[in-house]
Amino acid sequence: MWRHDTQLLSWVMSYDGEMSTDVMAINAASAALYLSDVPLSQPIGAVEIGLDPATEEFILNPTKKQKLASPLHLTVAGTATSILMIEGAAEFIPEAQMLDAIALAQTHITAITTAIIDFAKVAGKATKLEPSDPPGYVHCTHVYESRARRATNRERTRCCER
């Protein structure tokens, strides 16, 4: 259990005005968390999927201009093996086409998460999955040792419920 309040903020320092910064922020936050001491078992990746109305081909991370013409606006986030979030809208596209878009997103998310894992290996950062206690946190066993003679069964129960 991670007991530290953690907040990630993404500030855009430079922007070309064409590409969305949303998925870049998700991917950057995932990489930062994966490289940190937060016990994250696997990174998350995100992509946007659009659809070219003329060719009916999917567009990975479409530009603003491509988004305006696209009948599909999909943002997908997940791990290498699972989809965690789907956000979007579409103008009457077949269910099979929507499933194909999600499958394409999963393929690219897997590539992103693999790149984050490889980056962590190059950085020499081992994944930390053990819980970390904040300073001053007292486990019930310490309470029992220090208050063994005074603690009643009721107090012991209350300690372990926290």
Q: Is the pLDDT of residue 162 over 50?
A: no
Distance separating the N- and C-terminal Cα atoms of the chain:
13
Name the residue among 126, 125, 130 with its Cα closest to residue 1. Answer: 130
Contacts of residue 86, Cβ cutoff 8 Å, sequence gap at least 6: 74, 75, 76, 102
Tell me the pLDDT tens digit for each residue of 21-69.
999 999 999 999 999 888 888 999 999 999 999 999 999 999 999 999 9
Q: Report pLDDT digits (tens) over 104-116.
A: 999 999 999 999 9
Domains of the chain, earliest start first? 1-131 (3.30.230.70), 134-162 (no CATH)
Angle at 119 between CA 110 and CA 41, to 5 degrees: 60
- pLDDT (average), residues 70-91: 96
